[in-house]
Structure 1
């Protein structure tokens, strides 16, 4: 009986793992609905597991890290009251010194639910020293930058990013307007 139970548990866990990662492989990166961590892992090729806020420390000694965005790098948001598990996203385009676009999942609500992937979302560096330690993120519900400022640990480099990270013709002007035009 124990052997049968063990096989059942293993089969169930394997099924859960397959269904957990299948959406990324089955339909395409932007059709994903779920948490930010598996999305960022699939989109960036950076093989780190666990809550988003732990990625920065886990990357130490395994991946290069820094405080300047590069296309394909993963940005790690710190754990806060608003982000109790942190957040990770993948840089899809660097627009200019304080503006970039990222592709991520589970940020804005779409059709009333969270978890959807979003491509080429504006991220604005609002840190006093232009070091990407504090950012504002475009928020679909506001149709512009959200009001919150989020602390960032930095960028993790060295994965093999998906070719679906950015649109064929990203809206650089829109990203700059989002960042610099008052609402």
Structure 2
């Protein structure tokens, strides 16, 4: 009996109380300890109806041209997680409900260990957008062993919707794929009538110079021939 208790105590110390979900990959295969092992990919495919295959991190590029994609959550859409840390294969989860602009409920599998077992499905668990711009590029997700949201900010590529992309959506994807954003064209704040009345220099006639600038003043002697008052004043000054 003592030997059995010692063995159980050692095993419990070796097993972490709350495994990090980052250690759960998006496309683990097989069964664990003889129990059914549900992967996130087939579960997301089943509950969303989106027919994509392969590792979770390939769903986002695979959807291009086949399914509409975007950055806003919608019921039935698949949230595509990017690989992060030890979660090397990414993750996919279906949105079951929109709660508010920052909160959704998810249906996914192989995230939280439940009753000590990995690969279990979870329905209607909370995910919260923690991105600064409220664009759902980072989320915190409910983690069962903690009984609340995990502390990790998981990176998200976006949402895959179960419908065909529109023409303008395809063009947007093509324009944004690997292409730096173009600088906006400069718009002048000068009104269209700013140049009215301005004559080009080539057509202007130079004004005639009226005065010549000289270094010394020039004394001009007026003619007294037609100035009788001037003659009187001049005679008195002699």
**Structure 2 residue 137 is the aligned partner of structure 1 residue 133:** yes
Q: Measure how far apart 1:82 and its partner are.
A: 2.9
Q: Which residue is 1:56 aligned to? A: 60
Q: Measure how far apart 1:33 and its partner are.
A: 4.1
**Which of these residues, 81, 85, 95, is aligned with residue 81 of structure 1?**
85
Report if the CA contact (8 A) 1:33-1:105 is conserved. Answer: no
Map 1:28-177 onto structure 2 (within 5 A). Answer: 33-158=37-162
Calculate the TM-score normalised by the size of structure 2.
0.53
Q: Measure how far apart 1:111 and its partner are.
A: 1.1
Q: Which has the higher contact order (CA 8 A, sep 6+)?
A: 1
Report if the CA contact (8 A) 1:91-1:101 is conserved. Answer: yes
Calculate the TM-score normalised by the size of structure 1.
0.68
CA distance in 1, matches of 2:85, 2:38: 21
Report if the CA contact (8 A) 1:33-1:117 is conserved. Answer: no
CA-based RMSD: 1.3
Q: Which residues of structure 2 form unaligned runs of 5+? A: 1-28, 30-35, 164-238
Whichever structure has more helix as a proportion of its residues is 1
Larger radius of gyration: 2
Q: Which runs of 4+ in 1 moved over 6 A?
A: none
Whichever structure has more strand as a proportion of its residues is 1
Q: Which residue is 1:163 aligned to? A: none
Residues paired across the two proteins, number:
129
CA distance in 2, matches of 1:136, 1:80: 13
State the SS of the aligned residue for 1:141.
helix
